[in-house]
Structure 1
Amino acid sequence: MEQTTADLIRSQLRRLRVAAGHTQEEFGKLVHYSASMVSAVETGTRPYDRQLLARADEVLTSGGLLASLLRIAEREGQPSWFLPWLDAERQARQLRVFQPTLVPALLQTEGYARAVIRCDDLLSDEEVEQRVAARLDRQTILDQPDPPQLIAVVDEAIVHRREERLRTPMAHQIEHLIACAERPNVSVHVVPLSVGLHVGLYGSFSLARGVDGGWVASQETQLTASPTDNEANLATLLARWETVRNEALSRQQSIALLNEMVKSWP
């Protein structure tokens, strides 16, 4: 598999630590992390975060190497604050995603992704295309030989956005959702409009379960998103996941509803 920027960041972190003569335990004390967390970050079973990398640059006197790698990754099409979650996503064995307003990024078509990203009028055409390419690249985890299990819950409202410029991308997107939902490692569940108000309307969130069985969560906002494995936050989001999943239709009912939506688009 081609080495990603996240792989490079982890390998450089380990190289710098070893070159400095620190064990994982010694290094952990210096950066205020446990030895087990340092090990998990280096092996990719836990995502790194900006605070760890900034502190590591200081402790290992690396001249800002790790921070520079983050900036390189940002220029490649992803904001640096999003990289830790991408790392968790790429290492995950199970993914659970709830989206009340947009099709989840891992299930977006190129046309829909471009339409969504173009909503940010602060982005240049080049930046839009970089982000579209980066989003499509994320989706390759679903095509690898041993892909993660993805369960996505979406609100029915996302398929009712019918402005003229979105007509063709949205029709193709719904067809793509149906195709994705029929894959063995992907489940798509729709919360019907008839449910009314529910706790998921507070906002989208994602959960990733790594090879070690631990969960990492992320809530994306307009400005930032960062993973957390804080027990209290995880407990809250796992409980909310169960709520929205229980409100949603079954897999086959969801596919049937999406098929009706396709027929309704002229």
Structure 2
Amino acid sequence: MRSGAVVMAWNVFRFCTALRGLGSLMILIVLGIVGVSYYAVVVAIYGPALLTAGWLDSLLAAGVLVLFHLLLGLLLWAYFSVVTTDPGSVPPHWKPVIDEEEGETAPLASSEFTSHILNLQQPGPLADTGNPRIRYCRKCNQLKPPRCHHCSVCGRCVLKMDHHCVWVVNCVGALNYKFFLLFLFYTFLETTLVTVSLFPHFIAFFKDVEIPGTPGTLAATFITFGVWNGQEILVHPSIFRGGFEKNASPARTQVSHKAKSGCTVALKG
């Protein structure tokens, strides 16, 4: 509980709708990282090796280039799928009509529904309505289902919201969560390939070995090696955790024991 409160306290993105303006910039940064990596791996090192090296080195270079382009294509496809896919929003005039415990249709009685809504709309801390099927967003002025949370950056409630990722310029929710996981997975594979393929050239720089290429080539190699290793630190733990942390906030939302409550984790992915 305490860790959730701490994260909420530091989650400045809840109040910073101006982050929407970073959209194009973050996409350009990602494409810039891809461009520098492409230059270092394809243009500077393995492209020339494919034409000038011996048959064994040429075969190795061909394998690296084929795998690099394949993973890069999958990575970019998954990335732009996350960017362009709507994560899902609450339909207008949505009402809870399904009994979450029994899985049967259980429409709320008119009097019960009205009393719960009036209780939820009262100012101050959310009261315990006694009915976990009803959750109300005061910012959107509408009901919301379990695991649906309001994103202050997007300015709306998102279905099964995981977090708002500034790198994909979108919320990660019900409809694009699969693409986000694929993006992380392909980034993991591409990171591993780039690190392994550039590691010998990185080590050779610190040894008494003649390194072909210009200073710009060496700079691109070092930048690429550092950037992709930095991404390993950020991406790999997210994959191996098998999901993303949800920060519980029971004082602000009431849900059934089968649904988890949480707040937005904005700087992730």
Range of TM-score over shorter length: under 0.3
What TM-score do the two structures reach when normalised by structure 1? Answer: 0.26
What TM-score do the two structures reach when normalised by structure 2? Answer: 0.26
The structure whose residues are more often strand, as a share, is 1
The structure whose residues are more often helix, as a share, is 1
